Amino acid sequence: MIQLLDVSKTFESKAGKVHALKHVNMTIEEGDVFGVIGFSGAGKSTLIRLVNGLEKPTNGRVFVKGQEMGELPKSHLRKMRKEIGMVFQQFNLLNAKTVYANVAMPLVLDKIPKQDIQKRVMRLLEYVGLEDKADAYPNELSGGQKQRVGIARALATNPSILLCDEATSALDPKTTLSILELLKKINHELNITILIITHEMNVIKNICNKVAVMEDGAVIEEGKVIDVFGNPQKEVTKDFVKTVIDDTLPEGMMKKLKRDRSNSSILRLKTIGDYGKNALLSEINKEFDITTHILFASVSELRENTLSIVIVEIEGTPIERERALAHIQSKGILYERMEL
């Protein structure tokens, strides 16, 4: 659906060259909800502007539905943009126009007959839950309602791709969740591929199936959300994951463990999906001369899977503990020894 091949973008500024994107490769398949996360300045907005053809790459190629965006003549680019709906952080609504007129705008520009516009706009407003707000003005709406109008407008031309530029960053946590639910519904029911850029890991956790982590213009880690969350490799990714998945012991408990520990190891076990940790722990308790104590457990629901984390203390002789560890390893369960 969207492909970036070795894409770099350099801006010339008074202070010199700014390398906003460096050798970025990315493949977004039909039906994906693909999240790009990074701190401010990582290059996320530049990436989105290349996908919708507002900027051309300095090097490399950007394809959308098989068409090379940098090379399209203006008339084709306009047609292509109808395939791509945009949702913005600050909603970008026209405050002097009603909700109805805002959603109708792309269709009016496209010279669609009035009757068809009316049918489509009313259907879209119903879809986003705002059928009773057609005559309201944007400043009479809450942030969440404004974003629903923005989404309805983005859907007006029947796009196959939705680009969301920090779509929930101006909203409170509860409203954020309701907008994410709406985006999930759009992806699922209308089979629209979504590319969402954000600095909030919560957004990735809730709706994305794939994620790319950006730092300083480059993609530093990429993959299925469950894999990246389960086993983050880079420090930046680890820091992002920590913001939504707790996998640490409280300070007081750590201190106590430091004092009391003798002949024991502390392990952090991570499992994806259904493999029961209870089964694993009872297995190792039975098979080896050890005792296990669960110190911490959490289950995180991701879009397509669950990630369970258990921190466990294993007591026993070093030999028995090593045997138990080898057994855990043989089950393909991710684990780390925790140094206190």
Ligand X SMILES: Nc1ncnc2c1ncn2[C@@H]1O[C@H](COP(=O)(O)OP(=O)(O)OP(=O)(O)O)[C@@H](O)[C@H]1O
Q: Which is nearer to ligand X, 9 or 133 (CB)?
A: 9
Relative orientation angle of helices 114-127 and 143-155, to the nearest 10 degrees: 130
Return the structure tokens found at 97.
């126009």
Q: What is the CA radius of gyration of the chain?
A: 24
The minimum distance between CB 214 and ligand X, in angstroms, equals: 7
211: left (phi over 0), alpha (psi -120 to 50) or beta: beta
- CB 315, min distance to ligand X, A: 47
Nearest to ligand X of 102, 198 (CB atom): 198
Hey, how many other C-beta atoms are within 10 angstroms of the C-beta on 113? 9
Q: Which residues contact 11 (CB under 8 A, 6 or more apart)?
A: 17, 18, 20
Q: Which is nearer to ligand X, 19 or 184 (CB)?
A: 19
Indicate left, alpha or beta for 9 from its phi (over 0: left) and psi (-120 to 50: alpha). beta
- Under 8 Å between Cβ of 17 and 11: yes
CB 90 within 8 A of CB 71: no
Q: Which is nearer to ligand X, 46 or 209 (CB)?
A: 46
**Residue 30 vs residues 33, 314, 323: alpha-carbon distances, Å:** 9, 45, 45
Q: To the nearest whole angstrom, how small is the minimum distance from the Cβ of residue 39 to ligand X?
A: 7
Minimum CB separation from ligand X for residue 50, in Å? 10
Is the Cβ of residue 151 or residue 214 nearer to ligand X in the bound state?
214
Binding site for ligand X (CB under 6 A): 11, 13, 18, 20, 38, 40-46
Q: In sequence order, which residues have a C-beta less than 8 Å from that of residue 336 and are 6 or more positions away? A: 267, 268
Min CB(9)–ligand X separation in Å: 8
The rounded distance, in Å, linking the Cα atoms of 84 and 236 is: 30
Q: To the nearest whole angstrom, how small is the minimum distance from the Cβ of residue 18 to ligand X?
A: 4
> Which is nearer to ligand X, 122 or 170 (by Cβ)?
170
Q: Which is nearer to ligand X, 38 or 144 (CB)?
A: 38
The distance of closest approach from Cβ of residue 213 to ligand X in the complex, given in angstroms and rounded to an integer, is 12
